[in-house]
Structure 1
Amino acid sequence: MIVSALFTSVGINLGLCFLFFTLYSILRKQPKNVPVYAPRLFHERQSQQRDDFSLERLLPSPGWLKRAWQPSEDELLSDSGFDAVVFMRIFIFSLRVFTFAGIIGILVLLPINYLGNQLTADYDISHLPYKTLDSFSISNVNNGSNWSTTIFH
């Protein structure tokens, strides 16, 4: 795989993510979708439904993202139940582990793997977009390399 193709894929996925967040933000405000996105609120406030047209309903707003991450475990337990609390704990733990692993991988492993010369001896950074991802893999590190003892000792 070519690095430029990887960046193209990342760009497309980020664009799709932005599109889906925007669609969710707009669709959750539509009165016809209230039973889908907020069934408990729909059941509690069934008589208070308004069907007036508002331009605000058609504009995406990121405020729901902030509110989704704010509730404490006690609020989550009372509103959504024990399953939601366990799911959020697993999700937050996974984010912490992958953040730590990503930092180590980017700051330590990628430079070690890239500077190896098992596959090629070309270190020109201007050719980076055209290199394959093999130059960042463990197969590029020389056999019997002293990099691990140099960095960790």
Structure 2
Amino acid sequence: MLVSALLTSLAINSGLCILFVVLYSILRKQPSNYEVYIPRLLAEGSSKRRSGFNLERLIPSPGWVRRAWKLSEEDRLSSSGLDAVVFMRIITFSLKVFVFAGIVGIFIILPVNCTGTAVDEIDFTDLSNNSLDVFSISNIKSGSQR
């Protein structure tokens, strides 16, 4: 695996993630998008359209993320609906699975792969092409009990 390819992919995906969070943060504050982002509150009459220019609407603010995580399921159900509750359950379940898999991967699988002997000699002239092979299953010899 190429280290440069891994770092390039990480940079591109991180940049796109930041871009989408910033765009969402800006677009959700625009009065023309209220039907998309808060239709239930508009239908109940709890929220009114705010017209006129406001500079604060054009500045991205990440405060909505913190407020979304702090809500209880009952509050989320009453304000946003069942789909928001189910979505947050999926996100929290995914995070729990990722944490469990990360702990298993870092403390069990990674040491087993690193102590393998299939890639004893690393070619330092071609380090960028095979430097991550030590951490993968390709470092375990075929037929090994590991």
Q: 1:85 to 1:32 in 2, by over 3 A?
A: closer
Tell me: CA distance 1:128–1:38, structure 2 relative to 1, closer, same or farther (3 Å). farther
Give 4+ residue runs of structure 1 displaced > 6 Å after superposition. Answer: none
**Cα 1:86–1:24, aligned 2, differ >3 Å: closer, same or farther?**
closer
- Structure 1 position 27, deviation (Å): 0.8
**Gaps in structure 2 of 5+ consecutive residues:** none
Contact kept, 8 Å, 1:113 with 1:137, in 2: the verdict is yes
State the 1:3 CA deviation: 2.3
* Larger deviation, residues 105-114 vs 12-21: 105-114
Q: Quote how far apart the aligned CAs of 1:132 are.
A: 5.6
Please, which runs of 5 or more residues in structure 1 have no aligned partner?
149-153
- 2:91 alignment partner in structure 1: 91
Aligned to 2:109: 109
Instruction: Give the alignment's TM-score, normalised by structure 1.
Output: 0.77
Tell me the distance in 1 between the aligned counterparts of 2:10 and 2:50: 41
TM-score normalised according to structure 2 size: 0.80
Show CA shifts across 1:66-118 (max 9, x none).
11111112212333444543443333122112111112202331232133122
Query: Residue 33 and residue 140 in structure 1: after superposition, are their counterparts in 2 closer, same or farther (change >3 A)?
Result: same
- Kindly tell me the number of residue pairs found equivalent between the two proteins: 143
Query: Which residue identity lines up with residue 90 of structure 1 in the other structure?
Result: I
Contact 1:113 1:141 in 2 (8 A): yes
Partner of 1:136: 135
Matched with 1:151 is none
- Superposed, which structure 2 residues align to 1:65-84 within 5 Å? 65-84=65-84
> Between the two proteins, what is the percent identity of the paired residues?
57
Report if the CA contact (8 A) 2:25-2:62 is conserved: yes
Q: Distance in 2 between matches of 1:58 and 1:128?
A: 46
**2:30 touches 2:57 (CA, 8 Å); kept in 1?**
yes
